[in-house]
Structures are given as C-alpha cells and as structure tokens.
Amino acid sequence: MLLIDQKIFRRAKKGIRNCPFNLFLFQSLQKESLSAQDVFENKTKYLSQEFMFINSSLFIENEFLKLIKIGVLRREVDGQGLTSKVRITPTGRKVLESRADLFTKRISLIKKLITCLKYQLSPR
C-alpha cells in the first residue's frame, strides 16, 4: 500500500471511530442511501448511545459533511443533481471490512464532553 493510501486509510478510520454513528448505520449505507432527517428520526437505531442528546438533524448533516470531506461518505446523485442522501464510498467500505473493532472501543469521558460542548456552542 502506498504511503498516501495509508494516510487516507488512517484518516478514514479515525473519522469513523470519532463519529456519532454506529455500525448499523454504515451497514445500512452499504445497501441504501440515507438522509440526515432519516437518521435523526431513527436515532436510536443509527446513533451510538453516547449521542442520544442530539436534538436536530443539522448536527447529523454536519457529521455527514465531515465524513464526506475525509472520503468515507458521498452524496447520492439523481437525475436532478445532488440529493440530501449519502452513501458509503469504496474507501469507507474497505475501512469497515478491515477494522471490525472500530465500534467496540469506548469513547473517553473527555471526548464526550468536548463533543457535547462543540454541539452546544455551534450555531443552529
């Protein structure tokens, strides 16, 4: 694997590990596309237990954008152009296939507090 591939892979792994989504969301994205509103309406199904405080689909959309920037997710495209739905990229698939332990590691209390503060201080 090239050095650049290793950096991309490491960045994608870190992004998936630090996002509020659980394994079921990524498994669902391999089969179908989902919007932030879909995820918000079914947050008990798609979000990690630590992130049940989320009360807006805007937070989920921002998390989607972070994962799009690092190459884990991509926007769904239809005949009219980009949609609000996302799908998983080949890079995201590769990370999930090779790293089954991404979702078993616990998030530290400090990381939870930082995430909560970022959410509370971000403009809505």
pLDDT per residue as tens digits for the range 46-98: 998 877 888 888 989 999 999 999 999 999 888 887 788 999 999 999 988 88
Measured CA to CA, the distance from residue 69 to residue 44 in angstroms comes to 25
pLDDT value, residue 101: 73
**Stronger pLDDT, 102 or 75, i.e. the higher one:** 75
User: Which position has the token pair 């979000």?
Assistant: 47
Whole-angstrom Cα distance, residue 101 to residue 25?
Answer: 15
Rounded Cα distance, 54 and 35, in Å: 16
DSSP assignments along 30-49, one per residue? HHS-EEHHHHHHTHHHHB-G
- Mind listing the domains of the chain with CATH numbers? 3-121 (1.10.10.10)
**Dihedral sign, Cα of residue 51, residue 40, residue 59, residue 85:** positive
pLDDT of residue 34: 95
Task: Give the pLDDT confidence score for residue 124 in this predicted structure.
Answer: 54
> Mean per-residue pLDDT for 9-25?
88
Residue-averaged pLDDT of the chain:
84
More confident residue, 31 or 119: 31
What is the per-residue pLDDT for 31?
A: 94
